Amino acid sequence: MTMRHDATQITQLLHQAQQGNAHANEQLMSLLYQDLKTIAARQRLKFNQPTINTTGIVHEAWLKLNKHTADIKDRQHFMATASLAIRHLLINEIKKKQSLKHQQPDSHTYSSELHGETDVTDWMLQLDQAIDRMNQNHPRLSQVFQLHYFAGLSYQDIAETFEITSKTVQRDWIKAKMLLATYLC
């Protein structure tokens, strides 16, 4: 992943955008656009949603993020928030598709059953619920899991976000996977 822009510059642009500077907002988008596309593409594949348009997801996530930029403090926080927004958009798309399929009784095709499309979709929805459940009692574990699994952030990037060591992030990653495994059983 390319997410190695000057963190100070990104943070400054975030603060300027929060104060209503449209030019800073445009610069921010141009600097982070490819990173957002990478996150969206990675998540789209993990959610087994090859037909969802990555660019559309990025633009929708950007619009959603622009409404909440006042709460974002720096580059790592922005990327974490973006990853979460993209995940929610994809989950909503999956739910829409499932709702449409349930309305049409003959919606299962030989091809989708052959490739296990429904199994992957069901599993991702179960994972989403398990992550939400973990977030209730262990918010940092939930966030570490999401940032590493969905956004592809390194342990070091996550450590910087939470101002902890990368070893702590590794331990949190292991705990999160174990906890999710118990929720999914």
pLDDT digits (tens, 9 = 90+) for 51-98: 678 888 898 988 888 877 667 878 778 888 888 888 888 888 888 877
Question: In this structure, is residue 91 part of a structural domain?
Answer: yes
Q: Residue 44: inside a domain, yes or no?
A: yes
In a domain, 73, yes or no: yes
Q: Under a CB-based contact definition with an 8 Å cutoff, are residues 153 and 170 in contact? A: no
pTM > 0.85: yes or no: no
Provide the number of structural domains found in the chain: 1
Domain membership of residue 171 (yes or no) is yes
- Domain range for 135: 7-184
Whether 28 is covered by a domain: the verdict is yes
d(CA 96, CA 78): 27
Residue 1 maps to a domain: no
pLDDT in tens, 2-52: 445 577 888 888 889 888 888 988 898 899 899 899 888 888 887 777 667
**Is 2 inside a domain boundary?**
no
